[in-house]
Structure 1
Amino acid sequence: MSRPKPAWRPPTRDGVGPSCVATLPGAWPGAADFLAERLPVLTADQWRERMAAGDVLAVDGRPLPPDAPHVAHTRLWYWRALPAEPRIPFEAEVLFQDAHLVAVDKPHFLPMTPKGRYVQETLLVRLKRQLGIDTLVPMHRLDRETAGVVLFTVQPATRHAYQSLLRDRSVEKVYEAVAPWRADLALPLTRCSRLQERADAFMQMAEVAGEPNAQTSIELIRRVAAAEPLALYRLRPRTGQKHQLRAHMAALGLPIRGDRIYPVLQPDLAEGAQPDYSRPLQLLARSIAFTDPVSGAPRRFESRRVLTVD
């Protein structure tokens, strides 16, 4: 039997969207008993407390009472009990907002969307709270460690038009990075290779043999006066593979300063440990330019942030 698709979705609460669980056939005496077995982060009594508080809804939006019987082949909405998260001490800046698009200048260290240990301390949740827009969706993504310009779409009806710009490679992205200086490397150059996730190193991408799927133009902006030979580079990705800029720079012997993944993957932080905010990844999404598919107007958004060198 096919499961019904939700025809309605509850609004977000404090910027965080609800979760949905499909109910299964079984001999559970009540909905709380099913939830406790399906989602054992809470006991049945704790689920009944959540139901009494209005935190569990039927598929049509009705609050489930604590003594609600178990009903198979439907869906239940619920809001997760969110643990306290340490505040990430950096703020994003809204660069532009209209009825269809929001452009934001993201700081280093702030994740884009809820995942793993980060839910409330993410750019998406912060923006939903700040702007009061439940329908915000990232048009593209930046790594948590990367700062700079990122775009969000507002209206579901026009979302596809904006996301098609990326699919059709109609967006010009420009990045800046601080990395070692190599006098023997002729610049500008275009790095064109095939990137593939390594099976023996979690998260890392590696260049492998095969048809290229990643292309990056790299040029020197200037040498940087520092204790070690460094330079500021301008990077123009033609494609959008995972970690493309970081992997290409590392493959050239130019690992981006502050990178904890390339060329050597560093251990993850211990549970509860705070990141070293004094050493951000020196990679910045400097600007994004395109023709707006809704208005036809030329758009160009530029970060106001500046990379630093010790």
Structure 2
Amino acid sequence: MPSLFPKVHLGEYLFQRFPYHSREEWSELILAGRVTVNGNREDQTFPLSVGDRIEYLPFAEKIKEPEVNSDYSLLFESDEYLIVDKPANLPVHPAGRYRTRTLLTFLEKERGEGTCFPVHRLDRETSGVIVFAKTKDMRGKLQTLWEAREVEKKYLALVYGAFSGEKVCEGFIGKDKEASVRKKQKYSEHPFEDSKPCRTDFSPLLYDSEKNISLVLAKPVTGRIHQIRASLLGNGFPLVGDKLYGKRESAFLDFIQNGDADRLNVELGHHRQCLHAFSVSFTDPNTQKRMEFVSSLAKDLCPFFPFFDSKYVT
């Protein structure tokens, strides 16, 4: 990973850029020789330059895997694929600190290793419908449908602001190079460096004027990373509970350093990003039958609009 800031010391750069380790933990890793710059061991005060390559090997025994919500359920199963209702706070597959507590590992523990293959992705905090193939061949067939934009996806999102009228967000998305969090994406109506075209169609469903919160239906046409969240923020409607695309992006760094603090939850409006994958619809590659799978609005989101009925979703 190249350094972004010349003349920054190694220890300080690592702590500021990757705060999932404390300053003391990075110091310990450097002193133990588990951090290298361009293949060489260096001390904490080593000055970095643009183009330097940093690699590190964590202490396996010190990596504590976070707790997750394993309360998932099966919506449908055929001989070729599974439709799962995923709760919030459950990553789909192993990544980062999550190794054994993921939806994929839980499914494989039940069904056997190599029996489930994620067809698409959902963020850890996003709840709702997700599709798994039972063979690599079917995963390829289903992913072809996704790539050809022959899958209709509907999401329910809770946003701050009065969302009025249908809105087609057709623009461009790519890395936000001005953000303090390196994985953050930016939506713009105009192309920018390394951006890709994207489109999401939005429709207002309900509005609570007292809380200034809208329930919005989102239909992504393209499938870019963080597309719905970035598009909403780019149009002035931050997602309720979102630590990265909510009211304050630095809330994400607060979360990494301090965990799920009550103060942070109050500030953002909820303990997780209020985005729910409501439905997925596609033509079964084998039977040629049109299939639609629906997940009711997650229980933790229902109190925002207790009288919401899925008949509003079309």
Q: Report the alpha carbon displacement of residue 273 of structure 1 after superposing the two structures with TM.
A: 4.0
Identity rate of aligned residues, in percent?
A: 29
Task: Tell me how far apart the structure 2 counterparts of residues 252 and 199 of structure 1 sit (CA, whole Å).
Answer: 18
Give the corresponding residue for 1:62: none
Residues 246-270 of structure 1 deviation map (CA, whole Å, 9 limit, x = unaligned): 0111111111100100143221535
Task: Tell me how far apart the structure 2 counterparts of residues 126 and 238 of structure 1 sit (CA, whole Å).
Answer: 30
Q: Report the alpha carbon displacement of residue 271 of structure 1 after superposing the two structures with TM.
A: 6.3
Partner SS for 1:269 = helix
Give the corresponding residue for 1:235: 218
Give the corresponding residue for 1:195: 173
Task: Tell me how far apart the structure 2 counterparts of residues 251 and 270 of structure 1 sit (CA, whole Å).
Answer: 24
Q: Report the alpha carbon displacement of residue 83 of structure 1 after superposing the two structures with TM.
A: 5.9
Task: Tell me how far apart the structure 2 counterparts of residues 174 and 150 of structure 1 sit (CA, whole Å).
Answer: 12
Q: Which amino acid aligns with 1:123?
A: L
Give the corresponding residue for 1:49: none
Matched, 1:251 2:234: yes
Of Structure 1 and Structure 2, the greater helix share is in 2
Query: Retained in 2: the 8 A contact 1:192–1:212?
Result: no
Partner SS for 2:149 = coil
Residues 149-207 of structure 1 deviation map (CA, whole Å, 9 limit, x = unaligned): 0001111222211110001000000000111232xx65111011110112232121113
Q: Report the alpha carbon displacement of residue 229 of structure 1 after superposing the two structures with TM.
A: 1.3
Give the corresponding residue for 2:19: none
Task: Tell me how far apart the structure 2 counterparts of residues 283 and 162 of structure 1 sit (CA, whole Å).
Answer: 23
Give the corresponding residue for 1:72: none
Matched, 1:304 2:296: yes
Q: Which amino acid aligns with 1:199?
A: K
**What residue ranges of structure 1 are gaps of 5+ in the alignment?**
1-39, 41-79
Task: Tell me how far apart the structure 1 counterparts of residues 61 and 90 of structure 2 sit (CA, whole Å).
Answer: 21
1:79-98 equivalences in 2 (<5 Å): 85-98=65-78
Give the corresponding residue for 1:269: 255
Query: Retained in 2: the 8 A contact 1:99–1:155?
Result: no
Give the corresponding residue for 1:171: 151
Query: Retained in 1: the 8 A contact 2:204–2:215?
Result: yes
Matched, 1:131 2:108: no
Moved more, 135-144 or 123-132: 123-132
Residues 233-257 of structure 1 deviation map (CA, whole Å, 9 limit, x = unaligned): 1000000111110011111111110
Moved more, 189-198 or 151-160: 151-160
Matched, 1:140 2:115: no
Give the corresponding residue for 1:215: 199
Give the corresponding residue for 2:101: 121
1:93-112 equivalences in 2 (<5 Å): 93-112=73-92
Partner SS for 1:281 = coil
Residues 109-128 of structure 1 deviation map (CA, whole Å, 9 limit, x = unaligned): 11111011111111111111
Give the corresponding residue for 2:281: 289
Q: Which amino acid aligns with 2:286?
A: V
Give the corresponding residue for 1:279: 271
Query: Retained in 1: the 8 A contact 2:118–2:139?
Result: no
TM-score of the aligned structures, taking structure 2 as reference length: 0.67
Residues 208-228 of structure 1 deviation map (CA, whole Å, 9 limit, x = unaligned): 432861101110111236x42
Bigger radius of gyration among the two: 1
Partner SS for 2:156 = strand
Task: Tell me how far apart the structure 2 counterparts of residues 186 and 87 of structure 1 sit (CA, whole Å).
Answer: 38
Please, what is the CA RMSD of the aligned residues?
A: 2.7
Q: Report the alpha carbon displacement of residue 286 of structure 1 after superposing the two structures with TM.
A: 0.1
Partner SS for 1:250 = helix
- Count of residue correspondences: 231
